[in-house]
Structures are given as C-alpha cells and as structure tokens.
C-alpha cells in the first residue's frame, strides 16, 4: 500500500510560519509512529498570484483533487487588496472548495482547560467544552438564484434566495451523523422551520435520513435562534450541531468565540468519498494571514497543528493519533507555554515564538511515547 498523500498549501502572511510547525509534527509522526505521508507543497493565494498571475493554477488544482487531504495555511494580505476580484487570493481558496465540492464544513469549538479564562463566558460554562458545528457549505442563500439588486418602481430591491434540494440536505446530515458516531452520538439539527419552507424541508429530510440510516444516533431539532441562545447559555448540552450555510456561518463563529482565541481554532471541509473511501478534504485554521504579525515569529501555530489532528481523525481514521496530538497541545498549554495571543496580563512574561510553541508540542508528543 502506498503512503497517504498530503498537499500542503502554506499560502500568505503567517501561513508559511504556522505550516513550518505542522511540518515538524508530520515529520515526528513519520519518525516515531510509523506514519509516513507523501507530502507535496505548492502555492495558493497571493504568492501564487505573484508567481503565476493566478491565485491557484490548474496544475495545483489537479494535485488537490488527486491527494488524500489538502492542508492550507491562510491566504491574503494588504498587498493584494487592490487586485481585481477574479484574481484575489481568496479566489484560490473558493476554487478549491467549489471544485472539490466540499459541502460539509466542520468547526469544532473545544475549550482547553488552561484557556477557559479567555472566554467571555464564565469558566464553568466553557471549561472542557467540546462541540462540533457542521455547516452546509456549498448551497443555501449564498448561492441560490435569483439574486441581485433590481429596481422596482422608485426603489432598489436586494434579492437572495434560500434554496436546498433534498440530496444537499441529506448528504450534510449524513456527514453529521457519521461524526456523531465517532463522538458522543448526538446530533442537534438547527433551522427555522417555523418561518421558512426550506427549514421545514431541512427538518423532514434530516429526520428521514436519521430514521432510515442512523436510528442509533440521538437526534433533536431546534430553531436556529433558540440554538444561538442555548449556545451561550449552556453550550455543553450539544455534541454535533448540523445546520445550513447561513445559520452555520453565524453559529460557528459564535461557538468558536466561546473558546477565546482565534489562534487555537482548526477547521475541516469535507466532500464526497473518493474511490479509496476517504472523503475529499481540506483542513485549515479558521484564522487568516494576520498581516499585522506576519514575519515576526509571533503567530500561534496551534490552530494549524490542530487542523492536522483533524486530518488524522477524519481523512485517515487515526483517531488515537489525533487524540495524542490534541493532548500534546493541551499539555503545552497546561505547562504555561503561551504565544502572545494567549497572554492576558502576565506581567514580565515573555511570549513563546511560533517555533518555540511548535517545539513544545513536539516535546509533549515525545513525552507521550514514554
Ligand atoms: P486574521 O484572522 O488574519 O487576523 C485577525 C487578528 O487575529 C489579527 O490581529 C491577527 O494578528 C490575529 N491572529 C490571527 N491568527 C493568529 C494566530 N495564529 N496567532 C496569533 N494571532 C493571530 O483576520 P483579518 O485581519 O481580518 O484578515 C487578514 C487577511 O487574511 C485578509 O487578507 C483576509 O482576507 C485574510 N483571511 C484569510 C482567511 C483564510 O485564508 N481562510 C480567513 C480570514 C481572513
């Protein structure tokens, strides 16, 4: 059997800095856990535009389609702000998502105990939190037709259309149920079935998929506005939340901030299974290219490292190794190692650099072997 394959796209700004630390982690798993990946690296975003005049070449797109998983750093930066929309760095990322048909966006909201005080909510409400938001990513109101701004009589009218087919709902529901089976086996589906027909269909289809294929998973339904309230009141009541593109956009940002820091948040975007059974997959930190700190060794690499942990779990079915890596990050935080973004007012304390944080994770991985 050939080694599992990875395409690494570090991108712009702090992307290459945090990805360098992920490379250390990948090498560690190769040297110590017998997990050797075939790793290729390429350009995406502004750096691809600089080299090729496009934020993603066809050749890179082909590589992304062929590998088991893509790992992306971040794209964008002020240098590219004045570019035409069609060649902006973000277009590279959007092309990857669209052509790989990555319809399920997984955003974990996990609160490491050592960082519970970073949340704006009370310690007890968030300490130990571990929930997963599954957001439909390729349909719904951001894509539905008709759309536009038209003139009606004396005024303009803005139009967007919420549209979901049964199959679009069913496939993201399946992704959520499959995930729940690897976690606490509970799914809460959120929509607005009280006021939207697409919400009624969403609720029906999620229930049908559940009854036919996943009766062992506990399923509940909640209106998305009530869900937002419950997420801030007592988020630990949830395990997996599945919701549409628009509500997922809002609810995943809300859930993410329960945990405090942008530098700690990983994500995965998954599509249909490939011939080898693995899903099409793109893993990336939630944060952007952070131009304000790029090139200074200040970036927190944990979000990107934890994105690789998600790849281990969801692309390669290596849940134990993913847990090993997540626990290594947890240990580093518990030991008090902090990049600047994770420091509140520790007077006189020197923040760890990006590389020091990565090295501390490697040391914790090494200790996990003992
Ligand atoms: P950002 O996430 O890059 O930064 C927001 C703030 O968080 C900044 O102060 C930054 O220093 C800090 N931050 C972010 N990641 C950090 C990390 N790992 N460690 C420590 N601090 C971190 O968002 P922004 O400033 O709105 O956008 C900057 C650029 O990134 C823009 O060009 C934007 O379009 C792009 N962007 C890209 C993505 C992506 O690639 N997926 C996502 C969001 C924004």
Q: Is the CB of 274 under 6 A from ligand 1?
A: no
Whether 115 maps to a domain, the answer reads: no
As for how many domains the chain has, the answer is 2
The pLDDT value given to residue 103: 97
Whether 172 maps to a domain, the answer reads: yes
Residue where a domain stops, chosen among 198, 223, 258: 258
| Nearest residue (CA) to ligand 1, atom 20 | 299
Whether 168 maps to a domain, the answer reads: yes
Q: Which atom of ligand 1 is nearest to the CA of 292?
A: 11
Distance CA 19, CA 291 (A): 16
Q: Which residue has the tokens 């990946």?
A: 37
pLDDT band at 256, cuts 50/70/90? confident
Kindly state whether residues 246 and 274 are assigned to the same domain. Answer: no
Entry field: residues in the chain: 370
Range of the domain at 275: 1-110+261-370
302 alpha carbon – ligand 1 mean position (Å) = 14
Rounded to an integer, the average pLDDT of 67-84 is 96
332 alpha carbon – ligand 1 mean position (Å) = 23
Whether 61 maps to a domain, the answer reads: yes
Tell me the pLDDT tens digit for each residue of 276-307: 999 999 999 999 999 999 999 999 999 999 99
| Nearest residue (CA) to ligand 1, atom 8 | 290
Average pLDDT, the chain: 95
Residue 115 clears pLDDT 90, i.e. is over it: no
Pick the closest to residue 97 from 199, 198, 9, 162 (CA basis).
9
CA–CA distances in Å: residue 129 to residues 52, 113, 232, 346:
43, 9, 12, 24
Whether 118 maps to a domain, the answer reads: no
Rounded to an integer, the average pLDDT of 45-66 is 98
Residue 370 clears pLDDT 90, i.e. is over it: no
Distance CA 153, CA 83 (A): 35
DSSP codes, 294-306 = TTTT----HHHHH
Residue 18 clears pLDDT 80, i.e. is over it: yes
The CATH number of whichever domain residue 184 belongs to comes to: 3.40.718.10
pLDDT band at 197, cuts 50/70/90? very high
Tell me the pLDDT tens digit for each residue of 314-330: 999 999 999 999 999 99
Residue 116 clears pLDDT 90, i.e. is over it: no
Which strands form 69-74's sheet, in the order they lie side by side?
Answer: 38-41, 5-11, 69-74, 279-285, 266-273, 104-110, 130-136, 240-243, 186-191, 218-223
Distance CA 306, CA 287 (A): 13
Which is higher by pLDDT, 348 or 64?
64
Residue 79 clears pLDDT 90, i.e. is over it: yes
Kindly state whether residues 224 and 309 are assigned to the same domain. Answer: no
Kindly state whether residues 61 and 167 are assigned to the same domain. Answer: no
Q: Is the CB of 358 under 6 A from ligand 1?
A: no
313 alpha carbon – ligand 1 mean position (Å) = 25
Active site positions, annotated: 142, 192, 225, 249, 253
The pLDDT value given to residue 182: 87
Kindly state whether residues 228 and 316 are assigned to the same domain. Answer: no
Q: Looking at 195-199, 327-331, 349-353, which range is the least confident one?
A: 349-353
The pLDDT value given to residue 348: 67
74 alpha carbon – ligand 1 mean position (Å) = 8
Residue 188 clears pLDDT 90, i.e. is over it: yes
Contacting residues for 330 by C-beta, under 8 A, at least 6 apart: 112, 113, 114
Kindly state whether residues 208 and 279 are assigned to the same domain. Answer: no
The pLDDT value given to residue 117: 84
The pLDDT value given to residue 47: 98
Contacting residues for 69 by C-beta, under 8 A, at least 6 apart: 4, 5, 6, 7, 278, 281, 282, 283, 311, 315, 316
Q: Is the CB of 292 under 6 A from ligand 1?
A: yes
Distance CA 20, CA 36 (A): 17
Tell me the pLDDT tens digit for each residue of 147-186: 999 999 999 999 999 999 999 999 999 999 999 998 999 9
Kindly state whether residues 275 and 365 are assigned to the same domain. Answer: yes
Strands 144-152 and 155-161: antiparallel
pLDDT band at 102, cuts 50/70/90? very high
Kindly state whether residues 6 and 101 are assigned to the same domain. Answer: yes
- C-alpha distance across the termini of the chain, in Å: 29
Kindly state whether residues 98 and 218 are assigned to the same domain. Answer: no
| Nearest residue (CA) to ligand 1, atom 16 | 263
CB 358 within 8 A of CB 305: yes
Rounded to an integer, the average pLDDT of 130-144 is 94
Kindly state whether residues 141 and 212 are assigned to the same domain. Answer: yes
The pLDDT value given to residue 346: 63
Rounded to an integer, the average pLDDT of 238-265 is 90
Whether 120 maps to a domain, the answer reads: no
The pLDDT value given to residue 347: 61
Residue where a domain stops, chosen among 258, 289, 322: 258
Kindly state whether residues 84 and 169 are assigned to the same domain. Answer: no
Q: Looking at 33-47, 102-116, 336-350, which range is the least confident one?
A: 336-350
pLDDT band at 361, cuts 50/70/90? very high
């Amino acid at each position: 059997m050939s080694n599992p394959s990875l395409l690494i796209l570090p991108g712009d700004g702090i992307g290459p800095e945090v990805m360098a630390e992920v490379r250390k982690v990948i090498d560690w798993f190769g040297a110590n856990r017998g997990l050797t990946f075939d790793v290729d690296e390429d350009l995406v975003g502004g750096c691809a535009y600089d080299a090729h005049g496009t934020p993603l070449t066809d050749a890179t797109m082909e590589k992304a389609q062929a590998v088991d998983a893509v790992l992306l750093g971040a794209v964008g930066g002020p240098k590219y702000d004045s570019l035409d929309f069609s060649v902006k760095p973000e277009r590279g990322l959007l092309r990857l998502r669209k052509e790989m048909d990555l319809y399920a966006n997984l955003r974990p909201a996990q609160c490491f105990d050592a960082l519970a005080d970073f949340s704006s909510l009370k310690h007890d409400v968030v300490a130990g939190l571990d929930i997963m938001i599954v957001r439909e990513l390729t349909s719904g109101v951001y894509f539905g037709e008709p759309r536009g701004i038209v003139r009606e009589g004396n005024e303009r009218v803005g139009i967007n259309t919420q549209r979901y087919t049964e199959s679009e709902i069913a496939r993201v529901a399946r992704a959520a149920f499959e995930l729940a089976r690897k976690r606490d086996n509970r799914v809460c589906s959120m929509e607005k079935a009280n006021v939207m027909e697409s919400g009624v269909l969403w609720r029906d289809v999620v229930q049908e998929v559940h009854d036919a294929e996943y009766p062992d998973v506990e399923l509940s339904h909640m209106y998305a506005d009530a869900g937002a309230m419950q997420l801030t009141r007592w988020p630990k009541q949830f395990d997996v939340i599945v919701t549409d593109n628009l509500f997922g956009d809002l609810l995943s940002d809300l859930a993410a901030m329960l945990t405090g820091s942008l530098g700690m948040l990983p994500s995965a975007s998954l599509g249909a299974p490939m011939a080898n059974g693995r899903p099409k997959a793109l893993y990336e930190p939630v944060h952007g290219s952070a131009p304000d700190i790029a090139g200074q060794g200040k970036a927190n690499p944990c979000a990107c490292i934890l994105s690789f942990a998600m790849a281990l779990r969801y692309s390669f079915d290596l849940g134990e190794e993913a847990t090993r890596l997540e626990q290594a990050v947890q240990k580093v935080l518990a030991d008090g190692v902090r990049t600047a973004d994770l420091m509140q007012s520790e007077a006189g304390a020197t923040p760890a650099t990006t590389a020091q944080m990565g090295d501390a994770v490697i040391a914790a991985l090494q200790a996990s072997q003992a």
